[in-house]
Chain A
Amino acid sequence: MVFSSLVFLFAYFPLTLCIMKLVPSKYRNLALLIVSLFFYGWSEPKYIILMIFSCVINYYFGHILANDQAKAKKILIMVVIFNLGILGFFKYYDFFVGIINSFGYEILKPLNLPLPVGISFYTFQAMSYPIDIYRKQADEQKSMVNFICYVTCFPQLIAGPIVRYKDIAKQLEYRLESADQFYEGIKRFVTGLAKKVLLANNAGILWEAINSTSKDQMSMALAWLGIIAYAFQIYFDFSGYSDMAIGLGKMFGFDFLENFNYPYIASSITDFWRRWHISLSTWFRDYVYIPLGGSRSGLFKTCRNLLIVWMLTGFWHGASWNFILWGLFYGMILIFEKIIGLKLLAKLPSFFRHCYALILILIGWVLFAFTDISSIVDYLRMMFEQPVLINDLFLYYLRNNIFLLVVCMLASTPIIYTSFNPLRHNRNLEVLVPVWVMVMMFLCVAFICDATYNPFLYFRF
């Protein structure tokens, strides 16, 4: 189930809200656990067992680590092997078998298992618990219900943000549910929904249309417009989903950490990754980069660590070569920036710094968008070598999507937020909030309905 569906908005959500607000606070974690399992089981009835299994094992790992100092290191290794083993098997097995087979050893067959939804997210969350206990950054959770509730909590279950155990431990025991929180939650949820439904989905339609255009109808401008639309799609989709998760969390009394901070206004790639999918880059920083030695053991090791981290970050996004390539692409740029790039950039006017970052980000999205290398090369060629600069088809797409593109551009910057912010305590503007919430809800439902609207031209037979 996704948040931007009618089933979620008008069946699951109202029911869950009733349950959560009616159950006495003593049993709220249990109630949240049950509704979350239902949420997950709705689309993955079989893999629900895998998720619970992963939770229970990690819970016991945590228990042992908290009570048995002597074997801590061995247990920690088991934690890592267990979690990465599950993730590796369900997400990467076929990919590795494919590599082995491509060398001519036909020993194993690909299993073609469907990927369990959210496995990359919940595995990272679950394993952060025993690790935090090992590092003495968190206390043992005495209640298994609370722990499973933390991992499976439905707002962030399938697409993040990746919540770390130590950040939320206190809220599992006690959280404040107030009208203030609920109001903020609604604002945040509706904003996220609008980002996803009104911006991301429509930018996605534009990208799909341009991407399926035949080569002889392409122009250089159209190729750039296409990848820009893709950049908007992926950002508003993901950040919209995070906003919805954070908003829902607030409605139920949780405070999740922010996951995005206007990534497209970054002035360097280093800056971009501080603003993009923050919960993932923090996770990799804290659990991979720093344990490897971080940047404190000389230039060579720093570069090695960066490359390892970024290769893994890319690979985390999917079992395919292009994601590894995408990760390494960023790894190289970050190394360049670390050694000399940032100093050079500092000398440039800010306009050029932003151009530099945006162009690299867009090239990155080409690597991300296509799973096969030849399509990547084809698309990059259209962006840089297509002989036709501008054509009528480009003008049409630009004209038909001009409003969407301008709104996406504005919403990628803090302009809208800051222009209202100084006046936030001005009562006259706060009055707009209920209007904004209702208008967005009506429009979102209209767009969700339209997406399933399927007129069939010909006579039924």
Chain B
Amino acid sequence: MKRKIQYITISLFLIFIFSFAILNVFNKDKEFSENENRYLATMPQINLKNVFDDDFDEEFDTYFNDQFVFRDQWIMLKSFYQQLTLNIANNGVYYAKDQNLISQGLSYNSALLSKNIGYVNNFAKKHENVNFMLIPTAAAINDELLPTFSYNYDQLAIIDHAYNNVEANNIKLVESLAKQSGQYFKTDHHWNEKGALVGYEAICQQVLNKDPNKFIFELVAENFKGTLCSKAGTFWYEGDDIYRIDPLDKIEVKMQIELDGEEYDSIYMDEALKAKDKYTYYEDGNHAYVKISTSVENGKKAFIIKDSYAHILIPYLISEYEEIEMVDLRYFRQDLNEYIEDNDDVYIIYSVDSFVSDSNLVFLN
């Protein structure tokens, strides 16, 4: 009997090692990882100089890890084990109730926050009609979904602190967002069409002084597994829905991506619905500069300095402006003053988690 167990153990162990070793040799290299949204390492060149170079082993290591067979399934197994062994978070994401995933913020850089508040305030003093919107993330609004003993820095206190120190038209969102639930994607770190609608209504009330328009929502994609799902490795979770948002009165749009880039007849990218990151359906995701002209003939222009939370707000705003220019300070390296005109409504729209961590707000000045 003991002999038998020995042979079973030895065989299983050897089969495990050798089968993955052999599978790995014949496994075709992948170029790009959708879950990680990055290019994977390729086989480093082998030549004498290279091999005696100190980095060869590390390069080969990275290559071997990146291209290892069933990589995503291994990640999933790890996440599953973490849940099984009572962890409440994995790779910086909380396993919240009802298969919600919520991004974790244990600490923030308070020096950077003070700097960013300063940049916004200086900017607001130099320009007219500056509207400042800080959007709390799901961790602050949907805290009833968070597991017991989870911990996040106080986003609402940060918003209060920022609003108290910036002399601009600071748009208040928190109360209306807190009124209902389901305003954030369950598997992505962004707010969804419902959350953005609250943002739009706040803009109508606090900037435009008018009643909000009406919109039609059309389900265009299901099973959008967002960034939080990728980070947490919970690939078995159900995905989110993506909606196309159209004003009740039809509006024609032209969207130009990048300063001298291509022009499109829609702000929606149907291609993105087939890809992994379906949030790029809205204005094709992150770009340094996007300009949208609409058939709303009211002569009003908006200039928006933003992070990606603004992308899903744009479908609502096109019903209010004849022209919208959108700038992402992470990539935009031109002088802002050359683009902002005197009568523009200027918006600075950031989610709290990028506002406390993004060092590119320095380009406001």
Contact = CB atoms under 8 A, between A and B. Distances in A.
Q: Interface majority SS on A: helix, strand, loop or mixed?
A: helix
B81 A443 contact: yes
Given A446-B77, A450-B78, 7 more contacts: A10-B20, A182-B10, A434-B8, A441-B13, A453-B71, A453-B233, A457-B231
Interface stretch (B55-63, B164-172, B292-300): B55-63
Top 10 nearest A-B pairs by Cβ distance?
A396-B151, A399-B149, A449-B74, A446-B77, A403-B85, A452-B65, A446-B78, A450-B78, A459-B286, A183-B6
Contacts of A396: 106, 149-151
Contacts, number: 162
B285 interface: yes
A443 B77 contact: yes
B12 interface: yes
A6 B87 contact: no
A9 B88 contact: no
B83 to A, nearest CB: 11
Interface in B1-55: 1-3, 5-10, 12-13, 16-18, 20-21, 24, 35-39, 51-52, 54
A335 B106 CA distance: 44
Nearest to B79: A450
Given A217-B107, A443-B81, A453 B21 contact: no
Contacts of B66: 452
**Max chain B C-beta neighbours (<10 A), residue from A14, A190, A427:** A14
Interface residues of A, number: 63
Given A43-B57, A183-B6, A455-B37, A446 B149 contact: no
27 contacts: A7-B61, A10-B24, A10-B64, A10-B68, A14-B17, A14-B21, A45-B52, A46-B52, A179-B10, A213-B107, A392-B151, A393-B151, A400-B87, A433-B9, A434-B8, A443-B78, A446-B75, A447-B78, A450-B233, A452-B62, A453-B36, A453-B71, A453-B91, A454-B38, A455-B227, A459-B285, A460-B38
Interface of A: 1, 5-7, 9-11, 13-14, 17, 42-43, 45-46, 114, 179-180, 182-183, 186-187, 190, 209, 213-214, 217, 392-393, 395-396, 398-404, 427, 430-431, 433-434, 437-438, 441-443, 445-450, 452-461
Contact of A186 (B13, B106, B331): B13
Contacts of B86: 402-403
Given A1-B57, A10-B21, A42-B57, A441 B16 contact: yes
Given A180-B6, A459-B280, A11 B233 contact: no
A430 B57 contact: no
A457 B37 contact: yes
Contacts of A403: 85-87
A6 B85 CA distance: 24
Interface in B158-210: 189
Contacts of B78: 443, 446-447, 449-450
Contacts of A449: 65, 68, 71, 74-75, 78
Interface residues of B, number: 65
B85 A404 contact: yes
A395 B17 contact: no
Nearest to B227: A457
A70 B52 CA distance: 44
A402 B107 CA distance: 21
B75 A450 contact: yes
B39 A460 contact: yes
B89 A434 contact: no
B149 A438 contact: no
B189 A437 contact: no
Contacts of A114: 54
